[in-house]
Amino acid sequence: MNQIYELKLWGGKDFDFYSGSGSHDLEITKPYIDALIAFFEAHNKSLIVCDLGCGDFNIGKHLTKYTKKYMAVDIVESLIARNKKLFKEANLEFQCLDIAIDELPDADCAILRQVLQHISNSEIQQVVKKLKAYKYIILTEHVPLGNFTPNKDVISGQGIRLKQNSGVNLLEAPFHLKIKEATLLNEHVLENNKGRIVTTLYKI
């Protein structure tokens, strides 16, 4: 992930850190942000939220004031250091963690926005074990249009499973995440057959 930001593999040559168009394109980000704000407001801004893979925080900065506490996590140390300097709020905390290896912060709700799609099945397995500790999971994944084979394995890195006509589905093998309820919060269909970005709320 360090190399992705250093080499600008997700674009953003004019930015110090850039988490890709999925974090900056208003057609994608605004409906997503609106959906999460509505969810947090429905809980009277009482939720402690853990953002696992917060990136450049272009999304998270819009959400903090709707939560009791917002903990933003990323694996890139220099990115977390930069975020700490740029974003300061009383209820906001940044942590540098590897979500597959490290112990995750306690919270009511975990956000995983286009994070799992970049990591291998074995690493996702490690994350899934920890997700059971949260009451809510808000999961966003970039998946193909129509039917696809879920959870084909990849090497962790820049790419995702789309070229294999696959995408992450935590409810399917080999992950089998046990949930009480699933609610579609937002879906954005990309142009030129580039798939769709789907955000689902899971109640654990």
The position carrying tokens 């920890």 is 130
CB 120 within 8 A of CB 181: no
Q: What residue type is assigned to position 91 of the chain?
A: N
CB 47 within 8 A of CB 40: yes
> Which CATH number belongs to the domain containing residue 109 in this structure?
3.40.50.150
Q: pLDDT by residue (tens digit) across 123-163?
A: 999 999 999 999 999 999 999 999 999 999 999 887 899 99
In whole angstroms, give the CA distance from residue 181 to residue 170. 13
Domain that holds residue 67: 2-203
Domains contained in the chain, number: 1
C-alpha torsion angle, residues 59, 155, 176, 181 (rounded to 10): 10
Q: pLDDT by residue (tens digit) across 166-190?
A: 999 999 999 999 999 999 999 999 9
Read off the pTM: 0.92
What does the block give as tokens for 194? 């580039």
